[in-house]
Structure 1
Amino acid sequence: MSDFTNARSAPVRFDLLVAPLRAAAKFFDALNVAVQRNNEYQALSRLSDAELERRGLAREDLVRHVFAEIE
C-alpha cells in the first residue's frame, strides 16, 4: 500500500515569481537614466565656455546641472 495522499501542492506565490523581473526592469530603467545623463554631460562638456555662458552655465557647474534632479 502506498502512503501517497492527494494533498494539493502549495499555491504558487506570483509575487515571488515576478520579483526578479521587476528588479531587472528597475535596473534597466536606472541604467537608461545613467546613460542619458552621461550623454547630456558629454554634449555640454564639448561646448565652449562662451556657449555654456549663453546657456547660463559654467563649466564647473556641469555635473551639478546634469544631476540636479537627484539631490
Structure 2
Amino acid sequence: MLIVTGVNAEGQREILSIEVATSETRLAGAVAFAIRSRTLGVVLVVSDAHPGLVEAIGVTVPGVTWQRCL
C-alpha cells in the first residue's frame, strides 16, 4: 500500500493518492502516477530507501530534494 501525502498552502496535510502495489515495478509506477496526477510544485519528497521509490522519484520530479525517512 502506498499513500502519497502533500502539504497545502495553509500547511495542512492532504492525501494525494492511495495505491496498491503488487510488485516493485508497480510501486514505481504508482508513485509516478500519484505525483504527475497533481499539479504541484514538489519541493521535498520523504520516503524510505526502496530502490523502486527512489528511482520513480528521480524520474518523475528530477532535481527535487529527497530525504530518507526512518
TM-score (norm 2): 0.30
More strand by share: 2
If you compute each CA radius of gyration, which structure gives the higher value, 1 or 2? 1
TM-score (norm 1): 0.29
